[in-house]
Amino acid sequence: VLSCSQTPKTPLQKSMDRLGKQLTLFSFGIIGLIMLIGWLQGKHLLSMFTIGVSLAVAAIPEGLPIVVTVTLVLGVLRMAKKRVIVKKLPIVETLGCCNVICSDKTGTLTANEMTVTRLVTSDGFQAEVSGVGYNGEGNVYLLPSKEILKEFSNVSVGKLVEAGCVVNNAIIRKNSVIGQPTEGALLALAMKMELADIKDSYARKKEIPFSSEQKWMAVKCTLKNQDQEDIYFMKGAFEEVIRYCTMYNSSGISLMLTPQQKASYQQEEKRMGSSGLRVLALASGSELGKLTFLGLVGIIDPPRAGVKEAVQVLVESGVSVKMITGDALETAVAIGQNIGLCNGKLKAMSGEELDQVADIHLIPSCVFVFQISIFFRTSPKHKLKIIKALQRAGAIVSMTGDGVNDAVALKSADIGIAMGQAGTDERCIICNTLLVCNNRHRT
C-alpha cells in the first residue's frame, strides 16, 4: 500500500504549473499574432521569427523561481527556530493553506505514557492500581475492601496480570520502556503485583503479532521443566478477543461462557472506555477458538500538554480537526471531549461503517466524511481512505502521527507531520514535516 501511494502536489506547485501553462499559452498566442501581422505587412519571415524568439525569451519570468525559493527558505528558517524540520520547501506554503488536520490519537494527541489504573476480572472482581511510570512503585487494591494484592493472593486478578506479562515483548530498564508503551504498562502492573519474573517460567514457541486488521496478539508457550500441554495467551480489543473465548475464569476454574456474561463484559468495557481508559481484554487457553476469558485492563493515556489549547486555536481559525484512532468509540469520544474537539459536538464513525459507505469516491460521500469528527477502530487502509475522501472534497489535508501504522496516511496527505521524539523511523523518512519538540501548541 505504501509503495502504491503517492504524495500529492502542493497548492504552490499546482499554482506554479497553472501559471506556467497560462504564460505559455498567452505568450505563444501574442507572439504568433505579432509574427502574422508582420508577415502580412510584407516584412521578412526570418526577421519576424527572430523577433518572436526574442519576445518569447522576454516573456519568461526568470526571477520568479528565485523569488519563490528565497521566500520559502525564509519560511523554513522561521519554522526551524520553532523546532520544526521542513523537508520540502513547498510545504511551508501548504501549511498556510491547510484547512483540515487529521491526527492519530495515541502518542500524538495523547502523551503515550501508559499506566494501568483499573482491572476487572471475568468473575466480577474489580481492582484499582496506584502509581505512575514504568516501575514497580504503587499497589493493586481490591475493591471495595482496599486489600493490597500481591502475586496470586487473588487468583483471578493474578491470572489476569500473568497473561498481560507473558503476551508481551517490552522490556523495562531504568524506569523507561523499550518497546510499546502499552506493553510497558502491563509489565509495570506485573511489577506492582510481584509477578514480573513469571514470564521467565514460560518458554515461547510461537507468536502471532498484533496487526491493525486483527487487533489482537497471541503467544503460544509452555511451562519450563514441566510436561504440560501448550497454552495460548492473547490480548487485544475486547470485541476481537471475546470471539476466541468459549469459557471464562472463575477463581482459577474455567466455566462455560454465556451470552449474558458476554453482554455484561461488553457493558463494563464501554463503561471503562467512557471514562477515557484504553481497554484491553486478556484470555488464555490450550487452543485458539476455545480460550478462557480472564478480564479487562483499563489503561490511562492522558492528553498531551497544550493539545486542548492548540485544538481551540485551530477551530477558531477555521481549521477542522479530526481524530483517527484504533481505540473503541467510548475511549475516543472521552478523549475528544477532553481536548475540546469540535466544542464537544462530536460525530463518530467506525472503520467498519466507513467500509460500508457506498461510492466513497463520489463528492456526496466525500462531503459526508468531511462532517465526521472522530473515526474509531480504524486501520491504515481506513486512514488512507479518509485522507483521499477529504482531498476529493477539496480540502488541503494535514496528517499527524507517530507510528508505522500512520505511514501510508502521512505519505498521501498534503502535509505529513511526524512526531520527532517518539515513534518509528519509517514515519520520519516518509513525512515532509517533523516536529522535534512533540508539542503542537509551540508551532
Q: Which of the residues are catalytic? A: 104
Question: Which residues make Cβ contacts (< 8 Å) with residue 414, sequence separation at least 6?
Answer: 8, 10, 11, 94, 97, 98, 391, 396, 397, 398
Architecture of domain 115-300 in this structure: 3-Layer(aba) Sandwich (3.40)
For residue 124 the three cell numbers come to: 466480577
Question: Which residues make Cβ contacts (< 8 Å) with residue 263, sequence separation at least 6?
Answer: none
Convert the pLDDT of each residue in 14-71 to its tens digit: 888 888 888 888 888 888 888 888 888 888 888 888 888 888 888 778 788 888 888 8
The residue among 359 and 251 whose pLDDT is bigger is 251
Measured CA to CA in angstroms, residue 400 lies from 82, 95, 370 at distances of: 17, 13, 17
Among 70-79, 84-93, 374-383, the range scoring the smallest mean pLDDT is 84-93
Between the two ends of the chain, the Cα-to-Cα distance in Å is 31
Q: What is the pLDDT of residue 235?
A: 96
Q: What is the pLDDT of residue 443?
A: 46
Quick check: 342 pLDDT over 80?
A: no
- Round to whole Å and give the CA distance between 291 and 284: 5
Please tell me the pTM assigned to this model. 0.76
For residue 392 the three cell numbers come to: 476529493
Residue with cell 477555521: 318
Quick check: 442 pLDDT over 50?
A: no
Question: Which residues make Cβ contacts (< 8 Å) with residue 93, sequence separation at least 6?
Answer: 10, 11, 12, 72, 75
Q: CATH assignment of 98-109+304-437?
A: 3.40.50.1000
- Round to whole Å and give the CA distance between 166 and 348: 34
